[in-house]
Amino acid sequence: MKKKSSLWVFSLLLFFVLALVGCTKDEEAGTEKKDDSTTDTTATDTASATSVMDTVLSRGKLVAGINDALPGFGYVGTDGKNAGFDIDFAKAIAAGVLGDAEAVEYRPLSAQERFTAVQTGEVDVLVRNTTWTTNRDSEVGLNFAPVTFYDGQGIMVPADSGINSLEDLEGTRIGVETGTTTELNLADQMRARGINFEAVVFDSADAVVAAYEAGSIDAWTTDKSGLVSRQSIMADPSAHKILAETISKEPLAPAVKGGDDKWFDAVTWIVFATIQAEEFGITSENVDDFLDDENPDIKRLLGTEGNLGEQLGLPADFGYQVIKQVGNYGEIYDRHLGPDTVFKLERGLNALYTNGGLLYAAPFR
């Protein structure tokens, strides 16, 4: 009997050892990954004391949190490369900081995990159609660079429905995408105006559009840029119209972790550089002609005079690199959302202040 029980204990011990091996197997896999990125690790540790800027420089690569499933703003092209409006701003930041627009590692993030990823330093910058709000700026602990896209929530209805304003939506069925602020905004606006409606919630934008086109809902709502882009690919775009009212403000801006002014300033001024370049009429095509321009403002932007780059901790020619490799704001916009794309989105609020829009870069001096 005694022998048997000791064997039993032995086999259990064996089981424990096996169980431990079984568990450590996963951890080992994890540590292997860790070893892989030891250089990053040490860099991040020092970064908590200094700046993300140093991490990016020592890594030689920018890690950008993106959305790669949003038409026009981020998607995967047929060549397997990421492309889109937001992606171009990630490229601009890489061009400005590292001098190479392709030195970006894209990290696709879902709406839920995007803030954690910034807080933990998993991504250096979040360029993922994120609305700048009070809560995100303060409690969530982000810092927002200048707005790259002014959006607003709108409503699409069939052109022959006789609906011309929010008030006409009384008693209709309106489709929204679940888990977004659009759902909340719609409810807020309609309650404020005392309009009764039925919100029909869908899982994805594709599903909302399918239901709308099939006629099972009377109207659908999302950001106006989304409405326009969807309208352009509907079977008969002229059969639909977008109500003039904008029911919420959605300023979309790149964001970085709060409390790191050096990195925040760098990102801010790189975004400003794209806007300022458009104001000066400098494009990726003609930027070389401007290198010997006499205008001191242009000289400072391109880094041929003054030491603005040095003050920001960026290369002296960061403005030049951003414009040369990625382009000015207008070029980025036209490339992904402008008249030559399927979206044909009007500049609207996203025009320069000189053209009646809201884009206004602080002066480079």
> Which positions lie near another protein, rule CB under 8 A?
4, 7-8, 11-12, 14-16, 18-19, 22, 25-26, 29-30, 32-34, 36-37, 40-41, 44-45, 47-48, 68-72, 74-78, 80-82, 105, 107-110, 112-113, 116-117, 119-122, 206, 209, 229-230, 233, 336, 341-343
Kindly state the smallest distance separating residue 116's Cβ from another protein, in Å.
5
Kindly state the smallest distance separating residue 264's Cβ from another protein, in Å.
18
Q: What is the DSSP string of 134-186?
A: HHHHHTS-EEE-S-SEEEEEEEEEEGGG---SGGGGTT-EEEEETTSHHHHHH
- Rank residues 264 and 318 by Cβ distance to another protein and give the closer one: 264
- Rank residues 32 and 292 by Cβ distance to another protein and give the closer one: 32
Kindly state the smallest distance separating residue 75's Cβ from another protein, in Å.
4
- Rank residues 106 and 280 by Cβ distance to another protein and give the closer one: 106
Q: Cite the beta strand spans of the chain per DSSP E.
A: 62-66, 75-76, 82-83, 104-108, 125-127, 142-144, 149-158, 173-177, 198-202, 219-223, 240-242, 248-252, 255-257
Asked whether 277 and 329 are in contact (CB, 8 A), the reply is yes
Kindly state the smallest distance separating residue 84's Cβ from another protein, in Å.
8
- Rank residues 109 and 275 by Cβ distance to another protein and give the closer one: 109
Strands 62-66 and 104-108 turn out to be: parallel
Asked whether 309 and 301 are in contact (CB, 8 A), the reply is no
Burial class (CB in 10 A: 0-12, 13-18, 19+), 38: exposed
- Rank residues 31 and 295 by Cβ distance to another protein and give the closer one: 31
Kindly state the smallest distance separating residue 76's Cβ from another protein, in Å.
4
Kindly state the smallest distance separating residue 110's Cβ from another protein, in Å.
4
- Rank residues 82 and 182 by Cβ distance to another protein and give the closer one: 82
What's the CA gap between 285 and 84, in Å, rounded?
Answer: 20
